[in-house]
Amino acid sequence: MILSNLAMACLSYERTRASRLHLVLVVLLYCISSEISSSFAELQRFEHAPKDDGSIRFLVVGDWGRRGFYNQSKVAWQMGRIGEKLDIDFVISTGDNFYGDGLKGVNDLAFLDSFKNIYTAKSLQKQWYSVLGNHDYRGNTEAQLSPALRKIDSRWLCLRSFIVNAAEIAEFFFVDTTPFATKYITDKKHQYDWSGVSPHGAYITNLLKDLNVALRKSSAKWKIVIGHHTIRSAGHHGETQELVRHLLPILKAHNVDMYINGHDHCLQHISSLNSPIQYFTSGAGSKAWRGDIKEYNSEAMKFFHDGQGFMSVNLTRSDALIVFYDVLGRILHTWKLNKQLHSAF
């Protein structure tokens, strides 16, 4: 449409020199604006209204789908109990939703055996917002992202990267981190479904641009970024260098409050020493107890649990309260922040 208009303009403007210059300018502007719109696609947004009292409460679990084994069912039961107590609004999954190789298709029974028939508590019948982990990429990723799963269980929402807005209180930025890590691209032992994300370089560049624009525009009190892979971690996998290099500078530039991830099968809280960012790992939804914790800066390391469990978050405009629970629902670690009292870096 625009192109044919341009062609028409071209014909009628052909006559004079002055209008030829005008034409050049129009074409230039068109090229610049189309360049901007094609490379800054908006991330898909969802609205999740806070409660009437102005708070948002949710649970975070990761690395879980093992048909109830490795204490997945025990963790699920405790999530139901705590979810009820907190009257949660939704659940966040930090990925590795289905072991060992994601879902084979939309009719894969793992969806029922590892999700629908496991998280059965009444309090967990809320929206689930999920990202993909590296194990999910070993299956049919399109199946896990498919709206067909929402017909089987309406709680399920998994997309590569997206945003959830909770009015002016919080904005959640879900980021597809698996394509960042080059080790999967060169992994000869496993097959990955890279359809829709290759070439990786362009995919990541666009994703980072979109995230940068969305974070810059955000006026939410709490900016929370969620991805499967670690940025800071003393766990088995340690830090993901590609995220430290490419994602972290964007989080720092926009005063992100929290980065929440899974991947390491533990519960963990690390405070950044040179920015407000709190790093929370909740990747303990089933198999845990790796027993290989790395040395870490003791000032930054606030908490580490080498075992199963999950995390709860309670946010208001001014306050955040994070609690970690073990497989028996016992409170292991609590972290509070009041934004008014907290002096900015």
Ligand X SMILES: *[C@@H]1O[C@H](CO)[C@@H](O)[C@H](O)[C@H]1NC(C)=O
Among 48, 64, 66, 70, binds ligand X (CB under 6 A): 70
Q: Classify burial at 263, counting beta carbons within 10 Å of its beta carbon; exposed 0-12, middle 13-18, buried 19 or more.
A: buried
Q: 220 with 170: CB under 8 angstroms?
A: yes
H/E element, 149: helix 148-152
Name residues contacting ligand X, limited to 85-114 (CB under 6 A). 86
Query: Over the range 3-32, which residues count as b (16 or more CB within 10 Å of their CB) and which as e?
Result: eeeeeeeeeebeeeeeeeeebeebeeeeee
The contact pattern for ligand X, residues 267-306, with x = CB under 6 A and - = no contact, is ---------------------xx-----------------
344: three-class secondary structure by DSSP: coil
Among residues 127, 118, 105, the alpha carbon closest in space to that of 66 is found at 118
What number of helices (H) and strands (E) belong to the chain?
Answer: 10, 15
Q: 61 with 310: CB under 8 angstroms?
A: yes
CB closer to ligand X, 134 vs 312: 312
* 228 known member of a binding site: yes
* 246 known member of a binding site: no
CB closer to ligand X, 167 vs 321: 321
Among 141, 214, 327, 335, binds ligand X (CB under 6 A): 327
* 136 known member of a binding site: no
Dihedrals phi, psi of 230, to nearest 5 degrees: -75, 150
CB closer to ligand X, 74 vs 246: 74
Under the binding rule (CB under 6 A), the answer on residue 71 touching ligand X is yes
Among 10, 253, 328, 331, binds ligand X (CB under 6 A): 328
Name residues contacting ligand X, limited to 45-64 (CB under 6 A). 55
Annotated active-site residue 237? The verdict is yes
What's CA 180's distance to the chain center, in Å? Answer: 13
Under the binding rule (CB under 6 A), the answer on residue 130 touching ligand X is no
Tokens of residue 59, six digits: 């649970």
- Tell how strand 278-282 and strand 267-271 pair up: antiparallel
Smallest distance, Å, CB 128 to ligand X?
20
DSSP classification of residue 159 = -
Under the binding rule (CB under 6 A), the answer on residue 79 touching ligand X is no
Under the binding rule (CB under 6 A), the answer on residue 321 touching ligand X is yes
Under the binding rule (CB under 6 A), the answer on residue 240 touching ligand X is no
Chain residues that interact with ligand X, rule: CB under 6 A: 55, 70-71, 74, 86, 288-289, 314, 316, 319, 321, 327-328
Catalytic residue positions, numbered: 237
Q: Which residues are annotated as a binding site for Fe cation?
A: 63, 96, 99, 134, 228, 263, 265
